[in-house]
Chains A and B, each alone.
Chain A
Amino acid sequence: MANYKLQINGRSYETETEADTPLLWVLRDHLGLVGTKYGCGIAQCGACTVHLNGNAVRSCSLPVSAVGTKKITTIEGLSAHGDHPVQAAWHEVDVAQCGYCQAGQIMTASALLAKNPTPTAEQIDNAMNGNICRCGTYHRIHEAITLASSKMK
C-alpha cells in the first residue's frame, strides 16, 4: 500500500492503495468518481477513457503509480456545467441509447477535438475506433463530433 496524490478535475485527491491498482478503480472505488466506466479491463472498448494531460487514455490499464503529477480529467470534470461543446452536441444529436459507453466516447471525442478542432470524417473514425458502443449509436456519435467541431470553430 502506498499513498498517492492525484490531480483530478482541478482538485487534489489523496488515496491509499496498491501500486498496481488501475486508475479506473481508484476513481470508482476510492474516490467516488463513477462516471468513468468499466467495460473490458484490457483497453479494448474505451468505456474507461479519461484525459491524462489532455491525452485520451484507458484508465483500466493505467496503474495509479504511473500517473505521477499528470493532470487527470474525467467526465465529471470535462466542464463545470455539463456544457462542453462535445456534451452539448451529444445532447443536441440525442446520441445515447443505454448511455453506458458514452462517457468514454465523449472523453475520446473531446481529446480529439482539443488537438484537431476540424477533423475529417476519416480522422473521426480513426480516433473513435477504439470505443465500442454495443447499442450501435456510431452514426450519431460521428454526427455529434462533426457538430461540436463546427461549433468550436
Chain B
Amino acid sequence: METLTKTNRRDFLKLAAVAGGGLFLGFHWNSAEASAMEVIGADAMAEGTINFNSYLSISPENVITIFSPNPELGQNIKTSFPMIVAEELDADWTKVKVVQAALDSKKYERQLTGGSGAIPHSWERLRKAGATARQMLIEAAAQKWNIASASLTTDNGFVIHQESGRRWHYGELATEASALPVPSDVKLKDKKDFKIIGTAIHNVDNQEMITGKPLYGLDFYREGMLHAMIQRPLAFGMKIKSVDSAAAKAMPGISDVVVFKNNVAVVGKSTWQVNKARKLLKIEYEAEGAIESTADHDRLFKELLESKATTVRRKDGDVDTAFKNAAKVISREYQCPFLPHNPMEPMNFFAHVREDGVELVGPTQTPEMARGEVAKLLNMAPDKITLELTRLGGGFGRRLKADYVLEAAELSSLIKAPVKVIWTREDEMTGGSYRPAVRYRFEAALDKEGNMIGYKLRGVGINSGNCTREDNFPSGAVDHLLIDSIEHKSPITTGAWRAPITNFLAFAEQAFIDEVAAAAGKDPIQFRLSLLDKAKQSPVGAVKYGIDRMKTVIQLAAEKSNWGTKKDVSQGFSVYFSHRSYVAQVAEVVMVNGKPVIQKIIAAADCGVVVNLSGAYQQVRGGIVDGLGHALYSNITFKEGVPEQKNFNSYRLIRMKEIPEVDVHFVNNGIDPTGLGEPALPPTGGAVANALFKATGKRLYHQPFSKQEEMKGVNLGDRL
C-alpha cells in the first residue's frame, strides 16, 4: 500500500493515464447504480471532459489506485474507503494506492465530513465499484482464454482458474477489461467472506504523519504568499467604531492593514511579524447587540424554563393527568456550558483571488459548501473556483462552517494577493461557533409499582435550535410524554460540536434515568431494559431507534463489565443512540483515601459492520476520552460578551495522566455500517456521573464536573 498525499484531479488523471493502458473506471458517489459507472478512455482524459467524482484504476503493472474523496480529519476514512473498494475487488491491499481528492467536480454530493455519515453514505457505492471492476476482470480473463466466467474466481489480486491452476494478476487483464461493457448488475460478496473489511489496517498516512510531512492546511506555503491574522471583536455583540492601525503598519514586514466587515486584518511577510503588529492595533468597539455574561445566561435559563412560549417537539398521551396521578414525581435540571472545538490545528485557509478565478487551499469539512459561499461572496461562478483539500488537524464540527474560508477569500480579493489567514489559539477559543449552552428540566412520574408512566423534557438553549432529540429513548416507552424546547437568540455564535446536542443531552438523560431507576427501586440496567420491552410490546407513538440493537449493547456492556458483581467498585451505566449507532458504557469508580478515582470505562458499540478494526477501536476510545475530558474539565464563560478562557492555561483539556483504562467491544451483527465518528462520545458523561454517584452519594447536574460544588476537594482525573 502506498499513498499519495497531495494531488489534484488533473495529476491523478495523468497518473492513471501514464500507465498506458489498464482499466480506468469512473463512478459517482451520488449514484448507487452500477450503470452510472463508465470506463474512461485516453481521449476523454486528455480532453478533460470527465465528470465523475470518483475513480478506480488498475494499471498494467498491477497498481490499483483508489480515489478517496471525503475530507480526512482523523476519522480514518482515507484508509477505510479504499478498504471497502479493495474488499469487493478482492485486491491485494499492499498493491493499493490511495489518492485524496481535490474539489473540482461540478457535481460533488456529500464531499463532507460530519454527522458520522461518511461510511454509511458511501458503503454500497464503494462496494459496487469494487465488485464491478472485479467482474470485468473475470470477464476479460474468460474471453481471453475462452473459459466460462463461472469457472473463474478471484483472490488477493488474481483471477484464478481452479481447474487448470492458471492465474493472472489484475494488471494483466486490466487493458482487456477496459474494452468490455460495464456490467449493470454485480453481485456483492457475502459479508462472511470479507477478508479486508473488519481487519485492523494501519492508517495510510502514518508514514507522512510521523515524519512531519506537510499535510495540513497550516503547512501550505506558496512562493510570494502573504500571511495574515484577523482581529475580530473582543466581545460578542460589539462592532468596530474606529481603527487606528498606524503603529501596526509601521512594524517590520507588515504590508497592509485592512478593515472589512467586523474584521481588522494585519497582512505581512511572516506569521510572527503579523502576530506582533496585530497587538499594536488600537480598535474601538461599540455595542450593536446584547452584551451578555454567563450570569445573565444562568438567570435567563431559569426564566425560560418557566416560559409558556415553547415549541412542542413530541406529545404522547396526557402528561398532566399522569403527573397528577403519580405516586412519585422526580424533577431535575442539568446545565451545560459553551465549548469551543479546539482542534489542534487552528483554523486557517489559503486564498488567491485573481480576475479569472480563485484558488483555495486548506482544511474544511465541507468543501462544496465553502466553494459555494465564496462564489456568492465574490459574485463568481463556482466552476472558476478550485478548492484543494488538505488533511485536517481535527474538526469536531468547527470546520463545517465556512467563515474562515470566506475571510481568507475576501481578504485576498481586497489585497489582490495570495494570502494564508491563520487563527491563533486565542482566536480559536474566543472566535465563537461554540457548542451551545443549554439547560434541561427532566420530570418523571412513577406509579406505585415504580413504572415510569409520565416523562417530560424541556430544553432551553442559546442559539441551539431544537436542543432536544424528541424521538430518542425513552420516547415510545412511556404512555404520557411531553418534550418541548425554547431558544434564546444571542450574539454569541454557536455551531455543531461533535455529536451536536447529544454530547450533553445524553449525559443529562442518562443521569436522570439513573435517578428515576433508583427512585423506582430498580437496577438501572433492568429499568432501561423493561422500558425497551415496553416500547417493543406496546409502543407509544413512533419508535425511531432500534430497540433490539439498543438492548444488545446494553447486555454486552453489562456482560463485559460484570455488572453489579464487583466488590469495592462503583459502576455507573449509560446507553445512547445517536447518528444511527448504539453505544453502552459502564464507568467504574473506586474510592482511594476517601476520594473517587475513575478507573475504567467499558464500552459496547453497535455501528454495524466494523470496516477497520484499528480505526474503529480508536474512534470509540478517542470519543470516550473526548466525552470524558469535556464533561470533567472544560467550559467557556463570558463577562460582558468577552470569553474568559483564551488558551490552554485557563481552559483545561484532558491529558494523558487523566485517562482511565478504556475497553471497547463491538457487536458483530452484519448490519451495513451506521457510523462511528460521534456515537461513542455522548454516553460517557452519564456513565461517569452515575458511577461517581454510587461511589460518593453525590449527584452531578452540571458540567464541567470538576468545577461543581459536589466535587470540591476532589481532583477528578487522579489515578490510583
Q: Knowing A90-B206, A100-B216, say if A131 contacts B656 (CB, 8 Å).
A: yes
CA distance A36 to B205 in the complex (A): 17
Find chain A residues with CB under 8 A from B647 CB. 40-42, 44
Complex: A34 Cα to B692 Cα, angstroms: 44
Chain B contacts for A149, CB-based, 8 A: none
Would you call A101 and B270 a contact (CB within 8 A)? no
Partner of A41 from the list B212, B425, B614, B659 (CB cut-off 8 Å) is B425
Interchain CB contact (< 8 A) of A129 among B214, B394, B395, B657: B657
Chain B residues closer than 8 Å to A142, beta-carbon distance: 656
> Within the complex, which residue of A36, A44, A74, A141 is in contact with B648, where a contact is CB–CB below 8 Å?
A44
Contact A98 B392 (CB under 8 A): yes
Which residues, 217 to 231 on B, are CB-close (under 8 Å) to A? 218-219, 221, 227
- What 0/1 pattern do residues 233 to 258 of B give for CB contact below 8 A with A? 00000000000000000001000000
Considering the complex, give the chain A residue whose CB is closest to the CB of B346.
A38
Is the C-beta of A45 less than 8 angstroms from some C-beta in chain B? yes
A66 at the interface (CB under 8 A from B): no
Instruction: Report A51-101 residues with CB < 8 Å from chain B CB.
Output: 74-76, 78, 82, 87, 90-91, 94, 96-101
Binds A, one of B326-334, B505-513, B619-627: B619-627
Whether a CB of chain A sits under 8 angstroms from the CB of B41 is no
Counting chain B CB atoms within 10 Å of each CB, the highest count among A25, A76, A106, A129 belongs to A25
Contacts of B213 in A (CB 8 A): 35
* Chain A residue with the shortest CB-CB distance to B216: A100
Please give, as numbers and ranges, the residues of chain B lying within 8 Å of A21 by CB-CB distance.
Answer: 270, 272
- Give the Cβ gap from A42 to chain B, nearest Cβ, in Å: 6
Chain A: interface residue total (CB-CB under 8 A): 60
Asked whether A103 is an interface residue with its Cβ less than 8 Å from the other chain, the reply is yes
Chain A residues with CB under 8 A of B35 = none
CB atoms of A34 and B219 under 8 A apart: yes
Cβ of B76 < 8 Å from any Cβ of A?
yes
Q: Please state if A98 and B212 are interface contacts (CB–CB under 8 Å).
A: no
Is the beta-carbon distance between A98 and B344 smaller than 8 angstroms?
yes
Neighbour of B210 across the interface among A32, A82, A137, CB < 8 A: A82
B708 at the interface (CB under 8 A from A): no
Residue of A nearest to B654 (CB): A136
Known: A82-B210, A91-B206. A39 touches B271 (CB 8 A): no
A18 is an interface residue with CB less than 8 A from chain B: yes
| List of B residues within 8 angstroms of A20 by Cβ | 272, 276
A106–B207 alpha-carbon span in the complex (Å):
13
Closest CB in chain B relative to A113 CB, distance in Å: 15
Q: How far is the CA of A82 from the CA of B210 in the complex (A)?
A: 7
Known A-B contacts A40-B648, A97-B76, A136-B629; the reply to A35 vs B211 at CB < 8 A is yes
In contact, B211 and A99 (Cβ under 8 angstroms): no
Residues of A within 8 A of B343 (CB): 98, 100, 134
- What 0/1 pattern do residues 421 to 436 of B give for CB contact below 8 A with A? 0101110000000000
Query: Please, which residue of chain B has its CB at the minimum distance from the CB of A81?
Result: B211
Question: Which B residues touch A6, using CB under 8 A?
Answer: none
Whether B342 sits at the interface, judged by CB under 8 Å, is: yes
Contacts of B106 in A (CB 8 A): none
Chain B residues near A36 (CB-CB < 8 A): 212
Note all chain B residues with C-beta closer than 8 A to A40: 425, 647-648
Docked-complex contact B272 and A99, CB < 8 angstroms: no
B391 on interface, CB distance cutoff 8 Å: yes
- Whether the Cβ atoms of B270 and A96 lie closer than 8 Å is no
> Are B270 and A134 neighbours in the complex by a CB distance under 8 Å?
no
Asked if A152 is an interface residue, CB under 8 A from chain B, the answer is no
Interchain CA distance A76-B215 in the complex, whole Å? 13
Pair B221/A34 contact, Cβ less than 8 Å: yes
- Whether the Cβ atoms of A136 and B621 lie closer than 8 Å is yes
Tell which of B74, B270, B272, B422 has the most Cβ of chain A within 10 Å: B272
Task: Check A138 for interface membership: any CB of B closer than 8 A.
Answer: yes
Given the interface pairs A98-B344, A99-B209, the reply to whether A139 lies near B659 with Cβ below 8 Å is yes
Interface residue? B618 (CB, 8 A): yes
List 26 A-B pairs, Cβ < 8 Å. A21-B272, A32-B221, A34-B219, A36-B212, A37-B218, A37-B344, A42-B647, A44-B648, A90-B210, A91-B207, A94-B206, A98-B73, A98-B345, A98-B391, A98-B392, A98-B394, A99-B74, A99-B209, A99-B215, A99-B393, A100-B216, A128-B656, A136-B621, A136-B624, A136-B629, A138-B656
* Other A-B pairs beyond A17-B272, A97-B74, A100-B343, 20, CB < 8 Å: A22-B272, A29-B227, A29-B271, A35-B213, A37-B344, A38-B218, A39-B425, A45-B344, A87-B210, A91-B202, A94-B615, A98-B344, A99-B215, A102-B209, A103-B209, A125-B719, A136-B623, A136-B624, A139-B659, A141-B656
